[in-house]
Chains A and B, each alone.
Chain A
C-alpha cells in the first residue's frame, strides 16, 4: 500500500515538472510580446525595453527557465496585466466558483450515469439498453453552447422554472468563507440563499455534465456486464440473494473500479470545460477568467490558469488512487504489483 502510494506520488511530481516545461514553452511560442503587453499599449520603446529587463526576458532560455521554475516554486505565477494583481490571487479567487460548478456537474454525472450503466448492463441487448445508449450519445454529441442556450430558452425563458444566468439572485448576500456560494450559504445558515444558489447551479451543471455522462455510462455498462458474467455473481445468486442485491452489493463495487479512473480524469476535464459554460451562464470562475485573459492577451494569466488546472488534475488523480485503494483490497497488499486496468477483469 505504501509503495503503491509512493509510486503514484513520484509519477505526480514527474507530471508536474512536465507541466512546468510545457507552460514555459508556451511563454516562448505564443504570439504577442509579453514585455509589450505588460508595459501597456501606449508605452514607448524605452519603457518596453525596461519592462523586458525587469521581467528577465532578455536573458538566455535556460536562465529564463530556471528563473521561471524558481518563481513557480514560490507560488509566483506573475502579474496579470489586465487586473494588475498577482495571477495566483486572481486564480485563487476564481477557482472556488468553478470547483463548485464542477462538483455539481460531477454529482449529476454520477447520479445519472452509474444507475443508467448498471441498468443497461442488466437489460443488455434489449430496448432499455438501446434507449440508454441513444440518450447518452445524444448528450455527448450536442455542442455545449447549443445545449446551454436551449436549456436557457426552455427552462428559464419559457417555463421560468430556473434562473437564466448568474450565481445568486439580487438581494441575496452570502459571506465569503470558501468562495463556493452554495457552501458558504449553507455554512452561514442562510437557507434561502442556499436554495437560490442551487437553483442557479442546475442548468450550468447539467450542461457541463451532458458530455461526460455517455462515457461513464458506457464504462459502467461494460464493466458491470463483465462482472455479472463472473462466477462469484452466480454464487451470490445461488445463496438466494435478490437480483437487486446481487447486482448492487455483490457486483457494483467491482464494476466501479474502472469507472473511478474515468471519473477522476473527468474532474480535470470538466474544470477545463467550464470555459464555455461559465461564459454562457454568466458565472464567474476560472473558465471565464481564462477567456478574458486570452482576449486581453494576458499571457501570465493564461499560463497561470493552465497551471492551476493541471495541478488540480494531478491532485484529482492522487485522490482517485486513494478511492481505488478503498475499492480494491488487492491493491492494499504490500508490494502488490497489480495495476489498475486489470482489476475488474476476473483472474
Chain B
C-alpha cells in the first residue's frame, strides 16, 4: 500500500448495555488507497455498520479504541471541532434508509446544501452546485424539485438526494452503508451504477458496506469479510470469489442464490459456531 488514505488498525467499539459494556467490534484492520473501492461484507450484526460509524465517531454513546488514520492523522483522538471538519468535507456518508435519513420538514435543497453552507459557501453558489449535482444524479427538473420536501420523492430519488448530501463537499472518501438495501431491485442497479460513475469522476475512494455479495463483484476492487465483529478475510474481490480461504466466506458465497443454478437445491444457511 503506497499512499493509504484511510488506515484502520485494531478498531474496537463497545456500547453500554444493561449488564455493562458490550463489545461489538473486536479489532478490525482496514486499508484504503486514494480512489480505491473497498467492500466491507458481512451478515447483519457482523459489526460492519458500527465500523463505518466508528470511523466518523457518529455514535456518541460508543467507546472506541485503536487507530483510524486519515492521511496519517488519527481521527479517534481528534478534538471535536477538527472532527467536524472531517465529517462531510473529507469523509461523506451515505445512509441505508433514505426515508429515515432525510429531514421531513426541510426542503431537499436545504439539506443538500448544508455541508457547503456550514462551511461558508454563499447560498446561491451552494444552490447552483446542488442543482447541478442532483441533475447529474439523474433527478429530472432538478431546479424546480430543489424546493420540494422528501415526501414528494420516490425511494430511488430520495437515495439520490442522500448521495448528493454525502458527495457535495467533494470528500476524499465516501462511506456507503448498505446504500441500496431499501430500494427495489431495478433501482438498486441504477443507484449503484451512479455511485460508481460519480466516485470515479471525482476520484473518491469508496468504502461500500453490504451484506450482498452479489453487488460487490461489479463494484469493488477489494473486499473485507467481517463476522462477529472481526475481519476474517481480506483480498482482491476476484480472489475471494475464486478461492475463498476462510470457511465463513465459502459459506457466504454458497448462500448467494444463482440464476441458472439447480433450483431444486435448498438455499444454504450458514451454521453458527464455525468461527
Interface residues of A (CB under 8 A from B): 230-232, 234-242, 245, 250, 253-254, 327-330, 333, 346-347
- Also in contact, A330 and B149, with CB within 8 A (given A231-B100, A254-B103): yes
B114 touches A230 (CB 8 A): no
- Interface residue stretch chosen among B64-72, B87-95, B130-138, B254-262: B87-95
State the total of A-B contacts with C-beta under 8 angstroms: 82
> Which 10 A/B pairs are nearest by Cβ-Cβ distance?
A239-B88, A240-B88, A231-B100, A240-B87, A238-B93, A232-B103, A239-B115, A329-B149, A231-B101, A240-B84
B residues contacting A by CB (< 8 A) are: 53, 56, 58, 84-89, 92-93, 95, 97, 99-107, 114-115, 118-119, 149, 151-152, 162, 165-166, 169
Closest to B99 in A: A347
Q: Tell whether A235 pairs with B101 under 8 Å between CB atoms, given A240-B84, A240-B85, A241-B118.
A: yes
Contacts of A327 in B (CB 8 A): 105
A234 to B114, CA, bound (A): 14
Q: List 20 A-B contacts (CB under 8 A).
A: A231-B95, A231-B97, A231-B100, A232-B101, A232-B103, A235-B93, A239-B87, A239-B115, A239-B118, A239-B165, A240-B88, A240-B115, A240-B169, A253-B105, A254-B104, A254-B105, A329-B151, A330-B104, A330-B105, A330-B151
Closest chain B residue, CB of each to CB of A329: B149
A226, chain B: closest CB distance, angstroms: 12
Contact of B105 among A238, A241, A328, A333 (CB under 8 A): A328
A327 to B53, CA, bound (A): 31
A240 CA to B95 CA, complexed, in Å: 15
Give the distance to chain B from A267, nearest Cβ to Cβ, in Å.
23
| Known A-B contacts A253-B105, A329-B149; A236 and B100 likewise in contact (beta carbons under 8 Å) | no
**Neighbouring B residues of A232 by C-beta, 8 Å:** 100-104
- What would 5 more interface pairs be, CB under 8 Å, given A240-B85, A329-B104? A231-B95, A239-B115, A239-B169, A245-B118, A329-B105
**When the two chains form their complex, are residues B58 and A238 in contact, meaning their CB atoms are under 8 A apart?**
yes
Contact (Cβ within 8 A) B58 A237: yes
**B58 contact set on A, CB distance < 8 A:** 234, 237-238
Is the Cβ of A242 less than 8 Å from the Cβ of B101? no
A347→B103 CA distance, assembly (Å): 11
CB-CB < 8 A to B87: which residues of A?
237-240
Contacts of A346 in B (CB 8 A): 100, 104
Pick the contact of B162: A235, A242, A328, A329 (CB < 8 A).
A235
> Once the chains bind, are B84 and A242 in contact (CB under 8 Å)?
yes
